[in-house]
Amino acid sequence: NAGVTQTPKFRVLKTGQSMTLLCAQDMNHEYMYWYRQDPGMGLRLIHYSVGEGTTAKGEVPDGYNVSRLKKQNFLLGLESAAPSQTSVYFCASSSRTVKSEKLFFGSGTQLSVL
Amino acid sequence: AQKVTQAQTEISVVEKEDVTLDCVYETRDTTYYLFWYKQPPSGELVFLIRRNSFDEQNEISGRYSWNFQKSTSSFNFTITASQVVDSAVYFCALRRDTGTASKLTFGTGTRLQVTL
């Protein structure tokens, strides 16, 4: 009963380094999302996907790229990390069915960029 | 533009007290959806409720109740007889009725601390 799994849980990067955050869901959900959570700002949508092979920009997409090659996976990439990308990153998924329009969240990835 | 305001940054109550978390939203849409999520210390956000703009009926689920008032653009959340397990950060969120994905605009959250 895994739900949404994010790896890694913690990571420290140096400015300019790259990394990929992996999100996997086992609920056969069509939609997947990446949010970042910063103190005093709530959660903000970075990118999202409505299906395999499709992605779209959210509210704060700059500096990030995403890919959804498989329905169950949604990858978030940082090509050249900056200190402003220090944040907690949450992946979420949801079903296409309107009545069950709740997001299922992963436990988060704490990223520090030095 | 959409906006969700949770003016209460942090609330502390003693167990068994009632507590209300405020949420005020801004949108020009006539159809929209409102949500509440709970983020316990473990970090993972948990869905609590979804309400659409045409349904102003208040809802009660156990010790939880929600008061939706379009006239004041508010969607407040009340916990009756609070318990220590209610300690968490609570987020109110808003979604437009466009597209199919659940793209939410979140408030900044209210941290609730319930002590014995």
B47 contacts A102? CB cut-off 8 A: yes
Give the residues of chain A that fall short of pLDDT 70: 1, 98-100
One DSSP character per residue, B24-55 reads EEE-S-SSEEEEEEEE-TT---EEEEEEETT-
Q: What is the pLDDT of residue A2?
A: 75
Higher pLDDT, B104 or B16: B16
pLDDT, tens only, B78-88: 999 999 999 99
Q: What is the pLDDT of residue A39?
A: 87
Cα B2 to the center of its chain, rounded Å: 16
Residues of A in contact with B45 (CB under 8 A): 43, 90, 92, 103, 105
Q: What is the pLDDT of residue A6?
A: 96
Residues of B in contact with A105 (CB under 8 A): 44-46
